[in-house]
Amino acid sequence: MKKTVRDYIRTIADFPHEGIMFRDVTTLFADARGFRMAIDQLLHPYAGERIDKVVGLEARGFILGGAIAHQLTVGFVPIRKKGKLPGQTISQAYKLEYGEAIMEIHEDALQPGEKVLIVDDLLATGGTAEAGIRLVERLGAQVIGCAFVVDLPELGGRTLLERLGMSVHVLCEFEGA
């Protein structure tokens, strides 16, 4: 039987809190065949499209985004949690289930008109991705799509991003939180 990306992802019960089923993509990253499959499948819908930069969301989005940027021979831009980037940044707050957090990007990381692909490992509520989209757009660049390995559809992130007019590509879905 041929393996899918989903087959490489392990689930860890009650992490980081009781009742959470954590979808661990490190097992996907550790397997050369699985990792290559994920990168190829994340890129597939964008074949032939102009992409100037790949933006990765902290932290596992850096791993995926770096590999995708390398494959496309384009630059990689990290969006990080507040206080992690040196130099001049712009910030965007977003909601968490228990409060608020802030993401940042270097103010000179993107140029107006550049086409950007946003990448992360997991789409849950969509808050982090929405903050990333807002940061990219504030710098004048255009998000051509958002690509994720895993979607947790019950948490509504895809719906949120699609309501913002985003094209959303996911490789697999898991039920529950």
| Strand, helix or coil for residue 138 | helix
Contacts of 117 (CB under 8 A, 6+ apart): 46, 51, 53, 54, 55, 68, 143, 144, 145, 146, 147
Report d(CA 101, CA 129) in Å as an integer: 12
| Strand, helix or coil for residue 159 | helix
Report d(CA 82, CA 26) in Å as an integer: 24
Report d(CA 75, CA 52) in Å as an integer: 7
157-to-21, 152, 163, 164 alpha-carbon distances in Å:
17, 8, 10, 11
The one catalytic residue in 23, 60, 80, 158 is: 60
The one catalytic residue in 33, 36, 80, 97 is: 97
Active site includes 97?
yes
Q: Which of 23, 1, 75, 42 is nearest to 169 (CA)?
A: 42
Which sequence positions are flagged as catalytic?
60, 97
